[in-house]
Amino acid sequence: MGEDRRLASVVALAQGMAAAHTPRESWRAAALGACRALAGSFAALSVWERDLGRLRVLVNVGDRAAHEEEFPEDEAYPVHQFPEITEFLHERWVGGGGPSAWVETAEGPAAGQPGYCHQRVAALRRRGRGCCVVAPIVLHGRAWGELYVARALGAPVFDPGDADFATVLAAVVSAGLAQTERLQEARRLAFTDALTGLANRRAVDVRLEEAIERHRRDGSVVSLVVCDLNGLKRVNDTQGHAAGDRLLERFGSVLSLCGAMLPGTLAARLGGDEFCLLAVGPPADDVVKVADELCRRAAELELGEGVACGVASTEEPVGPVLDARRLFRLADAAQYQAKAGRATRPVVAGREGPDDPVVRLADAPSEPRAPERRRFRGRRP
């Protein structure tokens, strides 16, 4: 391969990883980019899990064998079968060198190359591949895993120049993985409440918009539970804000536990003393049962005075829910009713028939000069 083509393939690999939005997309872009750059028929990216002593395959691309999944759940190999990933790298670093790729063939070590692993040779034969090049990946100064590219039986065998190029590609992959980590951390911070570790309002807005779009498309049930933690101001005023933070954290744990009763439910802190659960799929009755359990557990907390809880669901007789704003207004109105009535159980929008007061409150025109009713009055997006 000419220098210009190799440079273009390096750029394409880097661009592919930079365009990835999730770790899986990044892994796949890395493996595909390396496979194309090295004219391979198959490629894999694996991570060294030190705590478990194994090399776990993250992604397989190209001509996969019958048992090779693109994103395998449990394809892993004891690291002692691959001594080069530990001993070889450490020896190189001790000597001041860097990680270098090497070549294996189905006939044994390639000419002029040290043979590190009989397991790889056996795997090549078993899967009908003629040769492979293995490039260690170093991330943050430590051995992270490896990039593996193979060619089919009968194709030209990788040569020392290919091994050198694979080493370069592994370095590009390492940079891409580091960028993915930074982006994931930035996203985590952007969508996470710092005090409780729950999702934040921004995360709820994004997820709810997606959920309502799915509801419009296929009728999926979308339910929202909005909670107001009672007594937080009293705790702050009498015991200090540190005690108030403990109450928020403890209720956040209760909310998370109850949300886990409904698979895929998002538990979030909207801000201040307000929290919510967003469920997509489960029947409304199941969501109400969880909200009831949430009220019961909140009442048992050492601090605070329980929780006011409102539920709105597209499965209830509340009329068409065409946007996220209306579902939020319904849940907010239900929670306002629960707060005003000191209810110890959740109030559910639409359960009092066609003239349900919660639905009327949610759909009433906003009154800018009306007395403040907490933050309900349609301020939610």
The CATH number fitting domain 201-363, selected from 3.30.70.270, 3.40.50.12780, 3.40.50.620, 3.40.1590.10 = 3.30.70.270
Q: Which residues of the chain have pLDDT under 70?
A: 1, 80-99, 109-118, 366-381
Give the C-alpha separation, 346 to 251, whole Å: 16
Which distant-in-sequence residues (6+ apart) come within 8 Å of 197 by Cβ?
Answer: 252
What does 145-190 look like in DSSP terms, one character per residue? EEEEEEEETTSPPP-HHHHHHHHHHHHHHHHHHHHHHHHHHHHHHH
- Looking at the chain, which residues constitute the CATH 3.30.70.270 domain(s)? 201-363
CB 325 within 8 A of CB 286: no
Q: What class, spelled out in words, does domain 1-190 have in CATH? A: alpha beta
Give the C-alpha separation, 124 to 120, whole Å: 6
| Residue-level pLDDT at 375 | 46
Give per-residue pLDDT as tens, 360-373: 888 887 654 333 34
Give the C-alpha separation, 186 to 204, whole Å: 17
Give per-residue pLDDT as tens, 94-115: 455 566 888 888 887 554 454 4
| Residue-level pLDDT at 83 | 61
Exposed e or buried b per residue across 314-350, where buried means at least 16 C-beta atoms within 10 angstroms of its C-beta: bbbebeebeebbbbbbbbbbbbbbbbeeebeebbbbb
What does pTM read for this prediction? Answer: 0.59
Give me the phi and psi of 272, to 5 degrees please.
Answer: 55, -125
Give the C-alpha separation, 326 to 314, whole Å: 10
The residue type of 196 is T
| Residue-level pLDDT at 377 | 37
